[in-house]
Amino acid sequence: MSSKTLATLFAAVVAVRGAVTQQPLIWDNVRIGGGGGFVPSIVFNPNAVGLAYARTDIGGVYRLDPYDDTWLPLLDFANDTTSDFWGTDALATDPVQPENLYIAVGLYTNSWDPNNGTILKSSDRGESFSFHPLPFKVGGNMPGRGMGERLVVDPNNNNILFFGARSGHGLWKSTNAGETWSQVKSFPSVGTYIVDPTDTTGLNSDIVGISWVTFDKNSGTTGGSSRIFAGVANMGQDNVFVSTDAGATWSAVAGQNNTFIPHHGVLSPAEDALYIPYANGVGPWDGTAGYVKKLFIGNMSWVDITPAQGIADNSYGYSGLSVDLQKPGTVMLAPFNEWYPDANILRSTDGGASWTQIFSFGYPPPDYVGTKTPYYNYDDSQAPWITTFATGDTKQVGWGIQGLAIDPFNSSHWLYGTGLTIYGGHDLLNWDASPRKNITLSSLATGVEETAVTGLTAPSSGGPKLVSVVGDVGGFVHTDLTTPPPTFSNPIWPGTASDVDHAGASPSNIVRLSGISASTSVSVATSSDGGATWAPYAGAPAVSDNVYGGKIAMSAKGETLLWAGATGFSGIMVSKSGAPFTAVSGLPSNAIIASDKLNDSTFYAASGSSFFTSTDGGATFKQTATLGSSTSPVRIAASPFTAGELFVSSDKGVFHSTNSGSSFTAIPGPTNAWSISVGKGASSTGPSSLFAAATINGVNSLYRTDDLGANWSLLPSYSTGLGSASGMVLAADPNVYGQIFVGTNGRGIFYGHL
Ligand SMILES: *[C@@H]1O[C@H](CO)[C@@H](O)[C@H](O)[C@H]1NC(C)=O
Ligand SMILES: *[C@@H]1O[C@H](CO)[C@@H](O)[C@H](O)[C@H]1NC(C)=O
Ligand SMILES: *[C@@H]1O[C@H](CO)[C@@H](O)[C@H](O)[C@H]1NC(C)=O
Ligand SMILES: *[C@@H]1O[C@H](CO)[C@@H](O)[C@H](O)[C@H]1NC(C)=O
Ligand SMILES: *[C@@H]1O[C@H](CO)[C@@H](O)[C@H](O)[C@H]1NC(C)=O
Ligand SMILES: *[C@@H]1O[C@H](CO)[C@@H](O)[C@H](O)[C@H]1NC(C)=O
Ligand SMILES: *[C@@H]1O[C@H](CO)[C@@H](O)[C@H](O)[C@H]1NC(C)=O
Ligand SMILES: *[C@@H]1O[C@H](CO)[C@@H](O)[C@H](O)[C@H]1NC(C)=O
C-alpha cells in the first residue's frame, strides 16, 4: 500500500463518522537542531552519488540531502496503528536500482510491542512504502541494534535479499525483492548471545541473533552472488559463516577466533577482503574488550589488525567501521563505548597495519595522565545545545558509535552516529596530510529530531513559546520554533528530565524536574525570567536525599510547587516560597496532580475514580467529585483562561468541570484518553478548544473539539501520523487558535497549525 493509497483510505475511514471530521493540521518540527537520541547506523548507497540514510532506534529513518547536509524524515506517516515502524533495526539501499529502499521495522521483541515486524519497501527513495509483514518480531530499540546491516540486497541480483532475525528465528531470504520471505533452514546458527538472561522485562533476555550479512560482490553470477558472509551474535562459538553456493549451504569460516562478537562485515572489494570489528557486548553501551580482524577472501586467511594498546585503549570493544571505496586500504574504526576521555576514532591508510588517532592521549591504563590533544576543530553550531549539555564532560567525539560511514564517492565526506546526534565533516583527507592538519568535526544532524518527550508547557505570555523536557538530553526553552535553542543550565542534568510547568497567572515563572538520580545537583529548578536563567529550587530535597522524577505542578502565581510520583519519597509533597517540601494530607500516593492556572491557592488531584481539590495551596486535599467509572485518570488540564475550569482524561474518556472540580460532566466522544490540553477557543465568546490524544469511535489519534465534544476534528495528516496516541505529550498554544505542540516518543516535538 503506498502512502498515496493511504490518503484515500484515511478519508474513507473518517467519512462514516458523523461528528468526527478529518481536519489535518499543517505539521512541522519544533527544532532542536539535530539529534537528541541514538543513531545506530548510517548507510550510503554505493552506486548513487549523495544517497544516504540514517537509521534511528525509536524515531524512524531519515534521508540525507547532500547539497545542504540536512536530513528528511521518511517514516512520519506512522500513526497509532503503525507506531512501531519508528523502531528500525536494519536498512538496505539497493546497489543495483538505487531508488529501492528496504527497512526492517518493529520496536521490541518482548511484550512491550504486540506486533510482528514488517519489511517496508520503497521504490522512490522512501517517498512512499509498501508493507510486507514478517512472521516474527523485530527489535529496533533492542540491544545490538547498531550491528549490521542485518538486511541486505544482493549487488549481483537485486531480487535477492537476506534478513537476519532476532529471537532465534534465524536467517531469512527473499527472492522477489522483499515481498515474501522464507527461512534459510541450512543456516547453522540462530545465535546464542543474550545480554542478560535474568532480565524479566524481556528487553535484554532475548537472543540478539544474526547481526549482519555481506555479499561478496566479486563473486557474482547471473543468478546472484555465490559467496555470502554472515555474522552471528555468538561468543565462544563459531560466529562468522560463509556460503559459496549462493546461500544453499553454509559453514563456519576456518581459523576464526570466536572469543568476541562480530559487529559488522565490511567488504573492501578492491582488496578482496572483509573487515570485522568485534566486542564482548553488542552495544550500544556494553563492551569491555574486542579486536579487529581482516579476512583475505582469496586465501581465506585471517589477520589481526587490532590497534596496539597505546594507540587505542583496548578496554572497550570495537564497532563502527568503514572503508573508503575510493582509496583501497583506507579504513576507519570506532571504539563504540569508550567514554574516557572520549571515543578515539582511528584511521588506517595501510589496510589496518597501522592506525592514527583523532586525538592524542596518554594510554594505556592505569596511565590516564594524557592530555587530550584533538586533531580536529569542533563545530556544533547547528546544534548549540550540545555544548551546554556536555559542560563538564570530556566527550566531544561521542559515545555509542556503531554506525560510521565514509562517503563512497567522496573521500573527504564522512558521517557517524552517536548516542546523541550525527557528526561528520567534509575535510576528512586533512587527516592524511603531512604534516597532519586538523579536520573539522561538525554536528550534522539538522532535520533529525529524535527526542522522546516527557513534558511540555506553553506559557501564555512574557516568555518563551514553549518549554520542553525530554529523555536523555534534558530539555529546551523554545523562544521561537525554528531556531535551535540552548539547553538548560544551572543545573544541567546529564540525562532525562521528567516534567515542566509554568505559573498560569505569572507565566515567566517556570519549574522543571529531573528524572535522573539527583547525584550531582538537586532535582528541582525554577526560572523567573521565562527560562532565560535558572536556579536550583531552595526547597528541593538535598542531593544526599536523592529524590527525583515524577510530575510537578506550579501554582498560578508561581509561589507553590506540588510534586507527585517522586522516586525516593512516598506520597505527594508541597513546598511554598522555597520552604522544604512536606507531605500533603488527604491524597492517595498514586494521585495525578495539576494546578489551577489562575487561582494561586487551588490545586487538583485524581486517583481511581476520585477527584480531589485543595483550596489552601496544596496543604490539604478533599475529595470533591467522582469521575464516572474511571479507574485510571491520566491527565488533569486546567484552563489557562478561566479559573476553576478543568478537564480530566481517563480510561473512560474526558470529564469537564467549571467549578474547580466540585462536579463533572463527561464530554461526548472519547471512550479513553491520554494527554489533553486546553487551547484558545475558535471564537472569543465560545468555549475554549480542547485537544485530546484519545480513542473516538475506536480510533486512537489526536483530536480537537471547539464545542465541548459535540464535534471532533482528527488532526494528523496522512504524511504526519504522530505515532502512538498514548505516547503523545500535548501543550496547546494559548495564544493561537488551533495551534498545538505534540511531543512524541522518539520523533521530537511537532507543532500543528491551521
Ligand atoms: C494509520 O496508518 C495506517 C497505515 O499507514 C492507515 O491504514 C490508517 O488508515 C491510518 N489510521 C488513521 C486513523 O489515520
Ligand atoms: C506473528 O506471526 C506469527 C507467525 O506467523 C503468528 O502466529 C502471530 O499471530 C503473529 N502475531 C501478530 C500479532 O500478528
Ligand atoms: C582469540 O582472542 C582472544 C582475545 O583476544 C585471545 O586471548 C586468544 O588467544 C585468541 N585465540 C587464538 C587461538 O588466537
Ligand atoms: C593471503 O592473501 C593476502 C592477500 O593477497 C596475502 O597478503 C597474505 O599473505 C595471504 N596469506 C596467506 C596465509 O597466504
Ligand atoms: C587542532 O584543533 C585543536 C582544538 O581545536 C587545537 O587546539 C589545535 O591547535 C589545532 N591544531 C592545528 C594544527 O591547527
Ligand atoms: C568532495 O567534497 C569536497 C568538500 O565538500 C568537495 O570540495 C569535493 O569537490 C568533493 N569531491 C568529489 C569527488 O565530489
Ligand atoms: C480561588 O480559590 C479560592 C478557594 O476556593 C476562592 O475562595 C477564591 O474565590 C478563588 N479566586 C478566584 C479569583 O477564583
Ligand atoms: C456540530 O454538532 C452539532 C450537534 O451534533 C451538529 O448539529 C452540527 O452540525 C455540528 N457542526 C459541524 C460543523 O459539524
Give the pLDDT confidence of 110-136 residue by residue, as tens digits.
999 999 999 999 999 999 999 999 999
pLDDT of 9 > 60? The answer is no
Q: How far is the CA of 515 from the centre of ligand 1 (A)?
A: 33
Sheet of 118-122, strand order:
88-93, 101-105, 118-122, 130-133
What's the confidence (pLDDT) of residue 2? 39
- Looking up cell 562468522, which residue turns up? 240
Mutate to test the pocket of ligand 2, among 113, 116, 180 (most ligand atoms within 8 A of CB): 116
Assigned domain for 140 exists: no
Indicate which ligand has the atom closest to the C-alpha of 314.
Answer: 3
For the CA of 707, the nearest atom of ligand 8: 1
> Is the CB of 585 within 6 Å of ligand 3?
no
Q: Give SS3 for 578.
A: coil
> Is the CB of 711 within 6 Å of ligand 8?
yes
The span from the CA of 234 to the CA of 221, in Å, is 31
CB distance 521 to 536 below 8 Å? yes
Q: Give SS3 for 217.
A: helix
> Is the CB of 301 within 6 Å of ligand 4?
yes
Q: Give SS3 for 60.
A: coil
Assigned domain for 182 exists: no
pLDDT of 364 > 70? The answer is no
- Looking up cell 520542553, which residue turns up? 468
Range of lowest pLDDT (246-255, 264-273, 366-375, 386-395)? 366-375
| Nearest one of 631, 701, 706, 632 to 667, comparing CA atoms | 706
What's the confidence (pLDDT) of residue 368? 62
Q: What is the pLDDT of residues 274-327, one digit of tens each?
A: 999 999 999 998 999 999 999 999 999 999 999 998 888 888 999 999 999 999
Question: On the CB side of 86, how many CA atoms lie within 13 Å of its CA?
Answer: 30
Q: What is the pLDDT of residues 249-273, one digit of tens each?
A: 999 999 999 999 999 999 999 999 9
What's the confidence (pLDDT) of residue 361? 87
Cis peptide before 277 (omega within 30 of 0): no
CB distance 72 to 65 below 8 Å? yes
- Domains in the chain: how many in total? 1
The span from the CA of 244 to the CA of 297, in Å, is 11
Q: How far is the CA of 599 from the centre of ligand 7 (A)?
A: 6
- What pTM was estimated for this model as a whole? 0.95
The span from the CA of 331 to the CA of 154, in Å, is 23
What's the confidence (pLDDT) of residue 393? 80
Assigned domain for 425 exists: no
pLDDT of 369 > 80? The answer is no
- Cα 629 from chain centroid (whole Å): 36
pLDDT of 391 > 80? The answer is no
Using CA positions, which residue lies closest to atom 10 of ligand 7? 599
Q: Could you tell me the pLDDT band of residue 17, with boundaries at 50, 70 and 90?
A: very low
Q: Could you tell me the pLDDT band of residue 10, with boundaries at 50, 70 and 90?
A: very low
Q: How far is the CA of 687 from the centre of ligand 8 (A)?
A: 15
> Is the CB of 303 within 6 Å of ligand 1?
no
Arithmetic mean of pLDDT, 518-539: 93
> Is the CB of 135 within 6 Å of ligand 2?
yes
Neighbours of 360 (CB within 10 A): 15
pLDDT of 16 > 50? The answer is no
Q: What is the pLDDT of residues 54-88, one digit of tens each?
A: 999 999 999 999 999 999 999 999 999 999 999 99
The span from the CA of 495 to the CA of 513, in Å, is 12
Of 206, 380, 472, 600, which one is the catalytic site residue?
Answer: 472
Assigned domain for 547 exists: yes
> Is the CB of 49 within 6 Å of ligand 1?
no
> Is the CB of 318 within 6 Å of ligand 3?
no
Q: How far is the CA of 194 from the centre of ligand 3 (A)?
A: 21
Assigned domain for 308 exists: no
Per DSSP, the residues of 718-746 read SS---S-STT-EEEE-TTSTT-EEEE-BS
Using CA positions, which residue lies closest to atom 6 of ligand 7? 615
Using CA positions, which residue lies closest to atom 1 of ligand 3? 257
Mutate to test the pocket of ligand 1, among 2, 6, 8 (most ligand atoms within 8 A of CB): 6
The CA-atom distances, in angstroms, between 345 and each of 307, 357, 418 are: 11, 6, 12
Q: Specify whether 472 is catalytic.
A: yes
> Is the CB of 257 within 6 Å of ligand 3?
yes
Secondary structure of 619-675 in HEC code, one letter for each residue: CECEEEEECCCCCCEEEEEECCCCCCCEEEEECCEEEEECCCCCCCEECCCEEEEEE
> Is the CB of 19 within 6 Å of ligand 8?
yes
- For 497-650, strand residue ranges (E) read 497-502, 510-514, 524-527, 535-536, 551-554, 560-564, 573-576, 582-583, 592-595, 603-607, 610-614, 622-626, 633-638, 646-650
Assigned domain for 468 exists: yes
Indicate which ligand has the atom closest to the C-alpha of 290.
Answer: 3
pLDDT of 11 > 70? The answer is no
Strand 453-457 and strand 535-536: pairing? unpaired
Q: What is the pLDDT of residues 562-607, one digit of tens each?
A: 999 999 999 999 999 999 999 999 999 999 999 999 999 999 999 9
pLDDT: which is higher, 401 or 12: 401
Assigned domain for 266 exists: no
pLDDT of 4 > 60? The answer is no
Q: Could you tell me the pLDDT band of residue 486, with boundaries at 50, 70 and 90?
A: confident
pLDDT of 663 > 50? The answer is yes
What's the confidence (pLDDT) of residue 503? 97
CB distance 633 to 592 below 8 Å? yes
Assigned domain for 527 exists: yes
- Cα 343 from chain centroid (whole Å): 21
> Is the CB of 377 within 6 Å of ligand 5?
yes
Q: Could you tell me the pLDDT band of residue 13, with boundaries at 50, 70 and 90?
A: very low
Using CA positions, which residue lies closest to atom 3 of ligand 7? 615
Arithmetic mean of pLDDT, 515-519: 85
Q: Could you tell me the pLDDT band of residue 8, with boundaries at 50, 70 and 90?
A: very low
What's the confidence (pLDDT) of residue 494? 84
Share of the chain above pLDDT 70, in %: 97
If you average pLDDT over every residue of the chain, what do you get?
94
For the CA of 306, the nearest atom of ligand 3: 5
Indicate which ligand has the atom closest to the C-alpha of 138.
Answer: 2
Arithmetic mean of pLDDT, 144-150: 98
Q: Give SS3 for 5.
A: helix
What's the confidence (pLDDT) of residue 354? 97
The span from the CA of 528 to the CA of 536, in Å, is 12
Q: What is the pLDDT of residues 696-713, one digit of tens each?
A: 999 999 999 999 999 999
Which CATH number covers residue 530?
2.130.10.10
pLDDT of 454 > 50? The answer is yes
Q: Specify whether 707 is catalytic.
A: no
Domain that holds residue 514: 451-583
What's the confidence (pLDDT) of residue 392? 76
Measured on CA atoms in the order 87, 471, 566, 500, is the torsion positive or negative? negative
For the CA of 137, the nearest atom of ligand 2: 1
